[in-house]
């Protein structure tokens, strides 16, 4: 399949994919570090490369409201935001899955205030993890490009019809320039096809009500329908991954197992930190140490079975997360612990919170965490030492 290589940041990679998808409507509002996505896309529109209708809104709440209106009318809609922008979208964001609208949102992960911070952690994405959106977490710009393309096909599938969130680390990924393999635009558009809405809300001969009041008579049943759909979407996501692999040669799954098959010690992580952790695994493997990395790509719906199967034979596991629960473990740790609970054989597992507010995470940190794993195996773990912090000044 014909392709080219371009030097792109993660933000530019999202905009590049959007340009090839040529969505009907792109509502936007700039916010650091997402601004480069809508800035780049606005230039594509000005240059006549796409015919999208750009709607410059007065706030992020308006962005998602416009997205809902346009998607309801049958338009293909893609937008982007970060941090406080996502928080401002909170009210309409939860409406989208209930209306079964296949909107795609690029979330450039940034710490939620307070204190005010413009750098990366996953507190924004984790705040809406149970909103009903399918969510992918990307390691690098290549994945940002690829998942934008696959997200549309997943979201608009007739058996899904749900919104999708594509997450990348603010500045770390969004502003780092790397080589990205880009498909021909015709190939992308043939792959995704055209949107075929499940309902024609503009058909006056078959009127439908949208956003109506839903009391206890039916609310529970309607909510359960949404839960069932996102759980069943895994099969569609898997099939889209397989189809995309055929045109790119790049293989994607719900998780990525990096030397986990025979590993005694495994770190579980998401997004950009996985690149550094892979380098650490390579270094330690050369020293004869049986270590591995489990990268979580699909966070919602959570791939519980795949994760548990990958971890159950390890001796010790660190769940490394760039987000913290207040008075609780981090979200990823809670998911993994629940998934492993019923297995008779399972590893000792510790939750490490790292990198809040963009604190640097490098090779020295990765090697230090793998050294911790051997100590964890021999420790008695209780509520006082299962939750730990890496890289914070005490």
The 10s digit of each residue's pLDDT in 139-194 is 999 999 999 999 999 999 999 999 999 999 999 999 999 999 999 999 999 999 99
* The dihedral sign for the CA sequence 156, 135, 346, 383: negative
Select from 386, 283, 260, 378 the least CA-distant residue to 330. Answer: 386
Number of Cβ atoms within 10 Å of the Cβ of 62? 17
Is residue 97 within 8 A of residue 230, CB to CB? The reply is: yes
% of residues, the chain, pLDDT over 70: 99
Select from 2, 35, 37 the least CA-distant residue to 23. Answer: 37
The domain spans of the chain are 3-248, 257-390
* pLDDT of res. 211: 87
Q: What whole-number distance in Å separates Cα of residue 24 and Cα of residue 42?
A: 13
Parallel/antiparallel/unpaired status of strands 164-169 and 104-109: parallel
* Same CATH fold assignment for domains 3-248 and 257-390: yes
pLDDT in tens, 92-131: 999 999 999 999 999 999 999 999 999 999 999 999 999 9
Give the alpha-carbon dihedral of 245, 250, 251, 256, to 10 degrees.
-150
Peptide bond into 274 cis (omega under 30): no
The three-state DSSP-derived secondary structure of the chain is: CCEEEEEECHHHHHHHHHHHHCCCEEEECCCCCCHHHHHHHHHHHHCCCCCCEEEECCCHHHHHHHHHHHHHCCCCEEEEECHHHHHHCHHHHCHHHHHCCCCEEEEEECCCCCCCCCCCCCHHHHHCCCCCCEEEECCCHHHHHHHHHHHHHHHCCCCCCCCEEEEEECCCCCCCCEEEEEECHHHHHHHHCCCCCCCCCCCCCCCCCCCCCCCCCCHHHHHHHHHHHHHHHHHHHHHHHHHHHHHHCCCCCCEEEECCCCCCEEEEECCCHHHHHHHHHHHHHHCCCCEEEEEECEEECCCHHHHHHHHCCCCEEEEEECCCCCCCCCHHHHHHHHHHCCCCCCCEEEEEEECHHHCCCCHHHHHHHHHHHHHHHCCCCCCCCCEEEECCCC
Is residue 187 within 8 A of residue 1, CB to CB? The reply is: yes
* pLDDT of res. 304: 97
Q: Which pTM value belongs to this model?
A: 0.97
The β-bridge partners of 300 are: 135
264's tokens = 């005694």
pLDDT in tens, 205-261: 999 888 889 999 999 999 999 999 999 999 999 999 999 999 999 999 999 999 999
Q: What whole-number distance in Å separates Cα of residue 93 and Cα of residue 77?
A: 14
Q: List all residues 6 or more positions away from 303 whose beta carbon is below 8 Å from its beta carbon.
A: 234, 254, 255, 296
Query: What is the second-level CATH architecture of the domain 257-390?
Result: 3-Layer(aba) Sandwich (3.40)
CATH number of 3-248: 3.40.50.970
Q: Model confidence at 201, in pLDDT bands (50, 70, 90)?
A: confident
Q: What whole-number distance in Å separates Cα of residue 109 and Cα of residue 171?
A: 9
Averaged over 5-25, what is the pLDDT?
Answer: 98
């Amino acid at each position: 399949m014909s392709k080219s290589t371009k030097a792109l940041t993660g933000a530019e990679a999202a905009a590049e994919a959007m340009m090839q998808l040529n969505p009907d409507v792109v509502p936007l509002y700039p916010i650091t570090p997402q601004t480069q996505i809508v800035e780049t896309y606005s230039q594509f529109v000005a240059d006549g490369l796409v015919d999208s209708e750009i709607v410059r809104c007065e706030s992020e709440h308006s962005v998602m409201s416009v997205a809902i209106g346009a998607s309801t009318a049958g338009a293909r809609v893609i937008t982007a935001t970060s941090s406080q922008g996502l928080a401002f979208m909170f009210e309409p964001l939860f409406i989208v899955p209930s209306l079964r609208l296949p909107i795609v949102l690029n979330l450039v992960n940034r710490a939620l205030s307070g204190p005010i911070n413009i750098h990366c952690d996953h507190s924004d994405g984790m705040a809406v993890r149970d909103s009903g959106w399918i969510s992918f977490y990307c390691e690098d710009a290549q994945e940002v490009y690829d998942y934008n393309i696959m997200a549309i096909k997943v979201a608009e599938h007739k058996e899904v019809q749900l919104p999708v969130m594509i997450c990348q680390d603010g500045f770390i990924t969004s502003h780092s320039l790397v080589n990205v393999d880009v498909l021909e635009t015709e190939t992308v558009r043939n792959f995704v096809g055209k949107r075929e809405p499940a309902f024609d809300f503009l058909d006056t001969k078959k009127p439908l009500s949208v956003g109506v009041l839903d009391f206890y008579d039916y609310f529970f049943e309607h909510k359960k329908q949404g839960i069932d759909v996102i759980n069943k979407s895994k099969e569609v996501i898997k099939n889209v991954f397989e189809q995309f692999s055929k045109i790119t040669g790049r293989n994607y799954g719900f998780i990525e197992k990096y030397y986990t098959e025979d590993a005694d010690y495994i770190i579980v992580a998401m997004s950009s930190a996985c690149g550094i952790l892979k380098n650490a695994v390579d270094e330690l493997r050369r020293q004869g140490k049986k270590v591995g990395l489990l990268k979580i790509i699909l966070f919602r719906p959570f791939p519980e079975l795949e994760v548990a199967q990958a971890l159950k034979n390890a001796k010790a596991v660190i769940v490394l997360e760039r987000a913290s629960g207040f008075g609780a473990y981090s979200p990823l740790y809670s998911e993994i612990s629940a998934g492993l609970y019923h297995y008779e054989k399972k590893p000792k597992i510790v939750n490490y919170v790292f990198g809040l507010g963009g604190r640097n995470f490098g090779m020295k940190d990765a090697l230090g965490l793998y050294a911790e794993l051997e100590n964890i195996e021999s420790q008695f773990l209780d509520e006082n030492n299962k939750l730990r912090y890496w890289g914070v000044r005490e």
